[in-house]
Amino acid sequence: MTYFVFFLGVCFVLGGLAVASNPSPYYGVVGLVLASVAGCGWLVSLGISFVALVLFMVYLGGMLVVFVYSVALAADPFPEAWGSWDVMGYSFGFVLVLVMGVVIGGFAECWGLGVVTVDSGGVSFVRLDFNGVAMLYSWGVGMFLMAGWGLLLTLFVVLELVRGLSRGAIRAV
């Protein structure tokens, strides 16, 4: 079980490596999907399944789908693949950063997990993630309302950014 969690963590880092050294945005999106699936599996194996489900539905099913559509709009019809030489150079540099991180992080004590189990017991049962996020609506209502206000504001920001013909913020065309 330890090695399964470690394997999910390695898949997460490899997904980040694929996003950083992508030859074309199509491969970057694949790396991001792999990283978010591995991160979600990592959170589930630690016991915080609500946080993992929010990651899946909001991040993977909401934001990444929109990114895939935008990549289909913006990327070239003839993308370069993993085999070209400058992409290999970038990938090799990022693998060097990864190896340096593992060496500096201490390969000997890097195997200790350092995380305890989640479900708290006692007389009453409280799930750490479910009830923690539920406190967003009771004690954290100020931040909740500010986040909602910020999301509403973002809609108007996006409207002003893409409006064209010299009536908007950016476009002069």
CA 173 to chain centre: 34
Taking CB under 8 A as the criterion, the residue among 74, 85, 124, 167 binding another protein is 74
| CB of 88 or CB of 113, closer to another protein | 113
Q: Tell which positions 78-117 bind another protein, by CB under 8 A.
A: 90, 94, 97-98, 101-102, 105-106, 109-116
Burial class (CB in 10 A: 0-12, 13-18, 19+), 137: exposed
Shortest distance (Å) from residue 81 CB to another protein: 14
Dihedrals φ, ψ of 126, to 5°?
A: -130, 120
Q: Is residue 140 within the footprint of another protein (CB under 8 A)?
A: yes
Q: Is residue 21 within the footprint of another protein (CB under 8 A)?
A: yes
DSSP-derived 3-state class of residue 40:
helix
Q: Tell which positions 43-72 bind another protein, by CB under 8 A.
A: 43, 46-48, 51, 54-55, 58-59, 62-64, 66-67, 70-71
* CA separation for the pair 8, 111 (Å, rounded): 14
